[in-house]
Amino acid sequence: MSEEEEGGGTFIDASAAKSTPAPKPPTKEKKRDGLYIIIILMLLVAGGFLGWKLSEKNELINDCSNEKEEMRIEMEALNEMMYDTGLEMGEDLKENLANMLTMYDKMEIDNADMNDSINAQKSKIQQLMTELEDAKGDKAYYASKVRKLQDETDVLRSIMKDYIRTIDSLNYANGVLTESLAETMNNLENTQNTLNNVTEERDNLSDKVSKGSKLVAFGFATTGIKEKSSGSYKETDRAGRATHVRSCFTVGDNAIATPGNKTIYMRIIAPTGTVLNSSQSNAFKNEAGQSLLYSDKKTINYQNQATDVCVFYELTEEAAKGNYKCQLYCEGALIGSDDFVLK
């Protein structure tokens, strides 16, 4: 306590009351409050800016949504237009593929490998037609699918043109070969005709030579013969007296006949039509290949000159009365005949 207070009175400093009080230094709390205010103001400014930006973004989003919707509508309209265009292109493509199949079906070729290749190409065309039909349900991609198939079709058409050129070349070559073959066949036919003519002439000549080379018998004297006890013979026309039949004749000369031993077969045909013979094994074959019985035979040495011959047949039983025929064969050919009677 001050001295003034101790003296029992209160001392008031008037000078102090009259003067301006000195400012108090800011406290920590006041500094903190100012900082908060600044932060709040900054947050308000930032919030306003963000709100403005958000509003701006929302407007942009709305604009984008509107543009997207417009583009979607335009895209749908474009897809519809492209689909309609694709349908027209698809029909044209389908027709082209069908025409290619028809052309392949008309191709005729004997080459097995070529036929296998053609069938493989036909299978590819049918596969493309199936893919084209299956793609119709997708409007967005149908036109692009048609263009893709069109490219593949162009490749197949190029391959088909190569086949056509190859087949045309083969057909041309075949035509040349066919023409050459026809000419060869014609020449062969002419040659064959010439050969046939030559063969015919040769056969005719051979036939003439064969006929000309045949022996001919003439000057016949055929009669019954009675053999005497002395061994001599006497002619007789009595059937009951005859023991033999004798035929004498001349074999004429023939310059083209083959000389050498010739066997002459004599056939005595009785009035009953039977051939007189001593054995059923006495047979020879004529020119026609028929087996004929003979009565007797004789072998002569023929040297292309006229030769007199007599052939005897010994009767095995009494001869019948009537008209008889004597036939002579040499080398299968009838060379002469004679008639005689036994009473």
Closest residue by Cα to residue 326 from 211, 229, 258, 249: 249
- For 217-342, CATH number? 2.60.40.10
Q: Residue 9 and residue 18: Cα distance in Å, rounded? A: 21
Percent of the chain with pLDDT over 70: 74
CA atoms within 13 A on the CB side of 158: 6
For residue 326, pLDDT over 90 is answered with yes
Give residue 239's pLDDT band: very low, low, confident or very high (50, 70, 90). Answer: very high
The stretch 185-207 carries a mean pLDDT of: 71
Give residue 243's pLDDT band: very low, low, confident or very high (50, 70, 90). Answer: very high
Give residue 276's pLDDT band: very low, low, confident or very high (50, 70, 90). Answer: very high
Q: Residue 220 and residue 277: Cα distance in Å, rounded? A: 21
Q: Would you state the structure tokens that stand for residue 89, as one six-digit string?
A: 């292109």
Task: Supply the pLDDT for residue 91.
Answer: 77
Q: Residue 278 and residue 313: Cα distance in Å, rounded? A: 9
Q: Residue 310 and residue 277: Cα distance in Å, rounded? A: 17
The stretch 31-43 carries a mean pLDDT of: 80
Residue-range domain boundaries for the chain = 51-188, 217-342
